[in-house]
Amino acid sequence: MPGFLERIAGKLKSYREPGYYTKLDHKWTMVIDLDKCNGCEACVVACYAENNLPVVGKEQCEKSRAFSWLRIERYVEGEYPDVKVKFIPVMCQHCMKAPCETGCPVYATYHNQDGLNVQVYNRCVGTFTCATYCTYDVRRFNWFTYKWPKPLEAQLNPDVSVREMGVMEKCTFCIQRIRSAKDTAKDEARPVKDGDIKPACSQSCPTGAIYFGDMQDPESVVAKLAKSPRRYRLLEELNADPSVIYLKRVMGDGTSSHE
């Protein structure tokens, strides 16, 4: 193999090694307090509106092609009248050792310097590999080029591109809001403050269960909450190192529950 090809191959290989980025600019982290979550799905609606997600309809949902980047998982325990219902909001976990990144043949998904799991729509060829590898089932595939009925196209968010058929997509931690917060911070010649960025789900949550911030800043709300004894992460034993931290729900009898 000629030298330059070897160099390219080596570089591409290094992208796939865990811990490729030894020093991150930020490490965006989400903390979800399940004790506050009451499963109202306001975050799901906000996500649909913010990120131009199509409503695919009943038929497509039956084929498990529902398009929500963020879903509320429901767990029902017990028989009526003694029923306990528990909820977990699940979105892309932005794993630091993401399984999806190892599979993509065209490098459409990679980890960037902000600790985010990036999906590049223009690169994606729709091989479905990442969705197969994903542990949390959060990647969504555009089976069709979805159209919005006539007046509704006016409510599309201009900061987010409208995806077409054959493209995989997922939660971006509202990258457009991160970008605009960085822009404002740069104009005012200061680093991004804690609380500058609020993703759509966090903004719309009526009980304020979703926190967002930079884990590298020890003074940030998320860094303090992450030290809580109630802390856990989804499927931690798989060692994907997810960036979304959940705080366990405290039940009436003083025990804590994962859901």
Identified binder of another protein from the candidate list 20, 57, 85, 112, rule CB under 8 A: 112
Among residues 12, 15, 113, 251, the one that binds another protein under rule CB under 8 A: 113
How many CA atoms are closer than 13 Å to the CA of 100, on its beta-carbon side? 31
Extended beta strands in 71-133, E state? 71-77, 84-90, 109-111, 117-119
45 binds another protein (CB under 8 A): no
Do the strands 84-90 and 71-77 form a parallel or antiparallel pair, or are they unpaired? Answer: antiparallel
Smallest distance, Å, CB 41 to another protein?
25
Minimum CB distance to another protein, residue 259 (Å) = 32
- Rg of the chain over Cα atoms, rounded to whole angstroms, equals 19
Q: What share of the chain is helix, strand, coil (3-state, %, to 5)?
A: 25, 15, 55
**Residue 30 within binding range of another protein, rule CB under 8 A:** no
- By the rule CB under 8 A, 134 interacts with another protein: no
The size of the interface with another protein (CB under 8 A), counted in residues, is: 21
Q: Which is nearer to another protein, 160 or 226 (CB)?
A: 160
Burial class (CB in 10 A: 0-12, 13-18, 19+), 1: exposed
Q: Which among 32, 44, 71 has a CA at the least distance from the CA of 242?
A: 32
Torsion of CA 177, 14, 140, 181, to 10 degrees: 0
Contact stretch for another protein (CB under 8 A) within 93-101, 157-165, 191-199, 234-242: 157-165
185 touching another protein, by CB under 8 A: no
| Residue 159 vs 259, nearer CB to another protein | 159
Residue selected from 17, 59, 82, 187 as contacting another protein according to rule CB under 8 A: 187
User: Judged by CB under 8 A, does residue 145 bind another protein?
Assistant: no
Minimum Å distance from CB 161 to another protein?
4
